[in-house]
Amino acid sequence: MENDKIRHVLLRIGVALIFVSFGIWEIVQPSYWIAFVPKPIAQMVSPSLFINLHGLLLLIIGLGILTGTYLRISAMLAVLVMISIIASLWYESGFSDIIIRDMVVLIAALALVFDDTNYLRLRK
């Protein structure tokens, strides 16, 4: 396998693993994540409902990236989700190590947006 293909697959697996695992975790154990729901959102909608929907979104994004189904769209959604998570964390708690971790996930998802490798993709 060529190096470009190996890098592409490893990047997709890494980003997908993050989104799938956190998506499942939010769906299975929403009570753990309620503290992270931004206050304005918690005032408009049930925090548990929000967490479940957010977990489902993360799961769909992760599976889209993993399978390559609408990869660019899935990666763009991942970028938007990560921007919203980073902004929310920064607003609620200030700059932290968690934000740095999430910035790395954001950058990896952004790399997938611009990656033209068409290897192991179900849809282009």
Asked whether residue 99 is domain-assigned, the answer is yes
Asked whether residue 98 is domain-assigned, the answer is yes
Asked whether residue 66 is domain-assigned, the answer is yes
What are 18-70's pLDDT values in tens digits?
999 999 999 999 999 999 999 899 999 999 999 999 999 999 999 999 999 89
Q: What is the pTM assigned to this prediction? A: 0.90
Asked whether residue 124 is domain-assigned, the answer is no
The domain in which residue 63 lies consists of 3-113
Asked whether residue 81 is domain-assigned, the answer is yes
Asked whether residue 123 is domain-assigned, the answer is no
Phi/psi of residue 54, nearest 5 degrees: -65, -45
What are 64-105's pLDDT values in tens digits?
999 998 999 999 999 999 999 999 999 988 999 999 999 999
- Cβ atoms within 10 A of the Cβ of 19, count? 26
How many independent structural domains does the chain possess?
A: 1
